[in-house]
Amino acid sequence: MSVTVAKPSGIPVFQPHDDPDGDCVLARLVADEPSRLGLPWPEGFAGGIAHRLDTQTSGALLVADDPEELVAIREAFASRAFVKTYRFVAAREVPWDANQCSRSIAHDRRRRRRMIVQRGPSTPHRGRWLPAETHFRRLGPCMWEATMRTGVMHQIRVHAAFLGLALAGDRLYGGGPGGFRLHHVGLSGDHWSTSSVPLPAWARV
């Protein structure tokens, strides 16, 4: 059976390229379960970690027990069988309590780290447009829940910014200075779900 690991904000899931011995979720996982290192995990999924979160994002990570289970979990991701739930703090208020964005997302043609939404057929971009849909629901003043089945890089951040709901502290997408607060509450699906992990103090309502 799969397990759930709680990722803290500020550490990456895997070792940084410029610091192979740096702290990360994988290093902590194999320190507790050294036998994971001897299993034939596919490239990019060392230790059985089935998905990623950005370094600044905290929350639940689903980890497979063996390579066969990992393959099945990745197939579930590919078929959009998981609902992914997040919480975040917005930089400003908006006049609505719920909204959704289904605009496709691609890499920004000029800024390597940035993603953009498709505003029209001629929106400049790099690579291909990736389908994405995010639903937003207000939980309190500037506190929001986001749910999605797709999983494009920076999806919540770029969709939220497009709707005027940029994450507080998200300088890349217009949220102002500081570190943004984004927490992955968990995954839910027919065959696998993450167990509960503690919410950061800022995410409690």
DSSP codes of every residue in 14-83: S--TT-TTS--HHHHHHHH-GGGGGS-PPTT-GGGB-----TT-EEEEEE-SSHHHHHHHHHHHHTT--E
Which CATH number applies to 81-198? 3.30.2350.10
A 10 A CB-CB count for 158 gives 25
- Looking at 1.10.10.10, 2.60.40.1080, 1.10.3720.10, 3.30.2350.10, the CATH number of the domain 1-79 comes to 3.30.2350.10
**pLDDT at residue number 75:** 97
Hey, do 1-79 and 81-198 end up sharing a CATH topology, with the first three levels equal?
A: yes
Which residue ranges make up each domain of the chain? Answer: 1-79, 81-198
Question: DSSP secondary-structure letter at 174?
Answer: T
Mean pLDDT along residues 12-33: 92
* Residue 178 pLDDT level (bands cut at 50, 70, 90): confident
> pLDDT for 115-163, tens place per residue?
999 999 999 999 999 999 999 999 999 999 999 999 999 999 999 999 9
